[in-house]
Amino acid sequence: MNLPQLCFATNNAHKLSEVRQLLAGQYDVVSLADIGCFDELPETQKTLEGNALQKARYVKDHFGVDCFADDTGLEVEALGGAPGVYSARYAGPARDSQQNMAKLLQELEGKPNRRARFRTCIALIQGNQELLFDGIVAGEILRAQRGAAGFGYDPVFRPEHKTRSFAEMPADEKNRISHRGRAVAALITHLKAEK
């Protein structure tokens, strides 16, 4: 059976793998490399929604394929929502997860409020239609890294009502409750309704 094809506009291999797992058996998720796009996608907007739309529009305009893109931010209550849209480059343009986590933990040192949430915004462009889907998971920032799985801030984020960090969870468990999993679930609901 040939599955419908949809491009995920990301250069992040971890995100691509995670979304392919979430859409397995429903869509053939192709990468930017699969469509011949080796460009660094623009991310110059001030919001997650803006960045997701900017990336999806770039792929649609330059390669003419229906696609979706996402942007994710970690929003920490005690830091006024930071790092937010700047999560991937919080410690500077090097975009190193270890440096980002170290900066976050340093800024939270001595702060009792460690509440945070991950938020993913997905922008889908099909034909001339642009749609946005959100996924949010609340939790807290741990005082030290725990676990080796996942990526980004996963070792320091513990979802609400869970005892383990995202990095301590098997991928299938994380995907069921994660911000990206929830945003992709909303995307899937829409795509199924369109069939």
Predicted pLDDT at 195: 61
CATH number at residue 172: 3.90.950.10
Backbone angles phi, psi at 182, to 5 degrees: -70, -40
Catalytic center residues: 71
Boundaries of domain holding 177: 5-194
- State how beta strands 129-141 and 157-159 pair: antiparallel
Tokens of 23: 């859409």
Query: pLDDT digit string (tens) for 75-90?
Result: 999 999 999 999 999 9
Mean pLDDT of 159-165: 97
**71 among annotated binding-site residues:** yes
**152 among annotated binding-site residues:** yes
Q: Per-residue pLDDT for 94 more than 80?
A: no
**51 among annotated binding-site residues:** no
Backbone angles phi, psi at 13, to 5 degrees: -60, -35
CA pseudo-torsion sign 14, 18, 19, 20: positive
The pTM of the full predicted model, rounded to 2 decimals, is 0.89
Tokens of 171: 């991928």
Q: Per-residue pLDDT for 169 more than 70?
A: yes
Q: Per-residue pLDDT for 95 more than 90?
A: no
Number of domains in the chain: 1
**161 among annotated binding-site residues:** no
